[in-house]
């Protein structure tokens, strides 16, 4: 082997064998260990060593993951579908990026299925993301995956919760209260009682379960009966067929209720096509323009609305703060309530103005 002595013009590496005439009882390893030890101290002192991973900090039976200073944060939002409800969420993320310089991608499952959402979340896990917001499709089925992710990154839920999981925080409205407000509106619209049908994307989604419970509590003892519940799995063609089916199967229906964002627009369309607008009443989640148009033209009497903008913007801020500050960033009670509003013709202009302002980001 060539001599690695400095200055001989042939420096190809560290010397690993003894020179002729010398004994090296350690087989040459002592010099290597000494040199590597010196290199390790130098790398540590200069900050050029291997990057430290997030620190896991216990917090009330869960983990908060705090990253080392200077870490480039990798955060993401994974909705439960690609419905237009999430358009304003992208605007909320844009505002966050303008304020912080941190890009947060929104990764939508195109068909809104459990398998699609699982594949996206597992990819984020493999790619070492520091935090994720999830609008949960089915809390019972997804809790094991959420718990696994929570061992490695900060996990919060937005819009639709998984309350029995180890997610850190839920960001969104109180869905029970939204359902209660919708139910109280139905009581006013049907003072003599009547039959209603309910439509949603997923019967197992926590937001639907809570909304339906609030609605059911409001109409109890008012001679108002839910005669059918429909689940369209975010398939808009199926959603249209289900509205038509409900009207044909239950000709005495008095009112239709859309509890996911796109249901109102579809109910409006079918009622108008069949000449039933105003004769069969409607109450819906009023978060898309088609539903707002229905309120304006009278085919939908009123609705309840939250905003995906607030869920995304506040959720992104929280993920950043958890990564940088640790448990100190946790809100009291593990909830950030984004609120909701009852929408009718009297405040329709105000609601549209808010949407216009939010969509400008």
Evaluate whether residue 137 is within a structural domain.
yes
- Rounded Cα distance between 207 and 317, Å, is 22
Evaluate whether residue 25 is within a structural domain.
no
- Mean predicted lDDT score pLDDT of the chain: 89
Per-residue pLDDT at 248 exceeds 50: yes
Per-residue pLDDT at 204 exceeds 70: yes
- Rounded Cα distance between 149 and 132, Å, is 9
Contact predicate 63/56, CB 8 Å: yes
Q: Are residues 65 and 129 in the same domain?
A: yes
What number is the average pLDDT over the span 325-329? 98
Beta bridge partners of 194: 224
Per-residue pLDDT at 24 exceeds 70: no
42 band by pLDDT with thresholds 50, 70 and 90:
very low
Q: Are residues 203 and 225 in the same domain?
A: yes
220: domain CATH number is 3.40.50.2300
Q: What was the pLDDT predicted at 288?
A: 95
Evaluate whether residue 254 is within a structural domain.
yes
Evaluate whether residue 157 is within a structural domain.
yes
Evaluate whether residue 248 is within a structural domain.
yes
State the maximum Cα–Cα separation within the chain, in Å, rounded to a whole number: 110
327 is in which domain, residue-wise?
55-172+308-338
Prediction pTM value: 0.84
Region of 219 (left: φ > 0; alpha: ψ -120 to 50; beta: rest) is alpha
Contact predicate 147/165, CB 8 Å: yes
What number is the average pLDDT over the span 249-261? 97
Q: Are residues 231 and 191 in the same domain?
A: yes
Helices in the chain by DSSP H: which ranges? 29-46, 87-100, 114-126, 139-150, 175-189, 206-219, 236-249, 263-273, 289-297, 308-325, 348-359
Evaluate whether residue 120 is within a structural domain.
yes
What number is the average pLDDT over the span 37-53? 46
Q: Are residues 153 and 186 in the same domain?
A: no
Per-residue pLDDT at 45 exceeds 90: no
Write down which residue in 260, 287, 305 finishes a domain.
305
Q: What was the pLDDT predicted at 49?
A: 43
Q: Are residues 288 and 324 in the same domain?
A: no
Percent with pLDDT over 70 in the chain: 86
Evaluate whether residue 300 is within a structural domain.
yes
Evaluate whether residue 26 is within a structural domain.
no
51 band by pLDDT with thresholds 50, 70 and 90:
low
Per-residue pLDDT at 128 exceeds 50: yes
Q: Which residues of 40-74 are buried (b: 16+ CB within 10 A; e: fewer)?
A: eeeeeeeeeeeeeebeeeebeebbbbbbeeeeebb
Say how many domains are in the chain.
2
Q: Are residues 228 and 334 in the same domain?
A: no
What number is the average pLDDT over the span 225-247? 97
Q: What was the pLDDT predicted at 112?
A: 87
Query: Cα(first)–Cα(last) distance of the chain, in Å?
Result: 65
The three-state secondary structure class of 333 is: helix
Q: Are residues 166 and 315 in the same domain?
A: yes
Q: Are residues 184 and 229 in the same domain?
A: yes
Residue 332: how many other CB atoms lie within 10 Å: 6
Q: Which of 314, 297, 303, 283 is nearest to 343 (CA)?
A: 303
Contact predicate 75/320, CB 8 Å: yes
Per-residue pLDDT at 251 exceeds 70: yes
Q: Are residues 297 and 313 in the same domain?
A: no
Q: Which of 253, 148, 238, 255 is nearest to 202 (CA)?
A: 238
Q: Are residues 156 and 244 in the same domain?
A: no
Q: What was the pLDDT predicted at 174?
A: 97
């Amino acid at each position: 082997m060539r001599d690695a002595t400095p200055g001989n013009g042939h420096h190809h590496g560290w010397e690993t064998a003894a020179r002729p005439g010398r004994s090296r009882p350690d087989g040459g390893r002592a010099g290597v260990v000494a040199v590597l030890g010196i290199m390790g101290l130098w790398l540590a002192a200069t900050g050029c060593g291997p990057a430290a991973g997030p620190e896991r900090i216990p917090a009330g039976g869960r983990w908060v993951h705090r990253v080392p200073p200077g870490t480039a944060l990798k955060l993401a939002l994974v909705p439960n579908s690609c419905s237009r409800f999430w358009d304003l969420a992208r605007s909320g993320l844009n505002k966050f990026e303008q304020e912080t310089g941190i890009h947060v991608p929104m990764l939508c499952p195109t068909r809104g299925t459990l398998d699609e959402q699982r594949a996206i979340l597992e990819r984020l896990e493999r790619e070492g993301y520091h935090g994720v917001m999830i609008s949960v499709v089915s809390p019972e089925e997804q809790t094991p995956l959420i718990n696994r992710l929570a061992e490695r990154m900060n996990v919060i839920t937005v819009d639709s919760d998984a309350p029995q999981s180890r997610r850190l925080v839920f960001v969104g409205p109180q869905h029970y209260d939204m359902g209660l407000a919708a139910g109280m509106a139905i009581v006013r619209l049907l003072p003599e009682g009547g039959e209603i049908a309910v439509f949603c994307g997923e019967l197992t989604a926590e937001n639907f379960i809570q909304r339906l419970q609030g609605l059911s509590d409001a109409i109890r003892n008012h001679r108002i009966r839910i005669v059918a519940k429909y689940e369209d799995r975010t398939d808009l063609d199926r959603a249209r067929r289900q509205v038509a089916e409900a009207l044909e199967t239950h000709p005495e229906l008095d009112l239709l209720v859309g509890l996911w964002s796109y249901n109102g627009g579809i109910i409006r369309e079918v009622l108008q096509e069949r000449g039933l607008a105003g004769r069969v009443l409607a109450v819906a989640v009023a978060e898309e323009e088609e539903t707002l148009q229905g309120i304006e033209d009278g085919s939908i009497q009123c609705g309840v609305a939250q905003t995906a903008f607030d869920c995304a913007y506040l959720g992104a801020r929280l993920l950043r703060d958890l990564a940088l500050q640790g448990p100190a960033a946790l809100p009291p009670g593990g909830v950030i309530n984004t609120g909701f509003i009852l929408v009718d013709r009297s405040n329709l202009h105000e609601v549209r103005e808010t949407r216009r302002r939010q969509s400008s980001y």
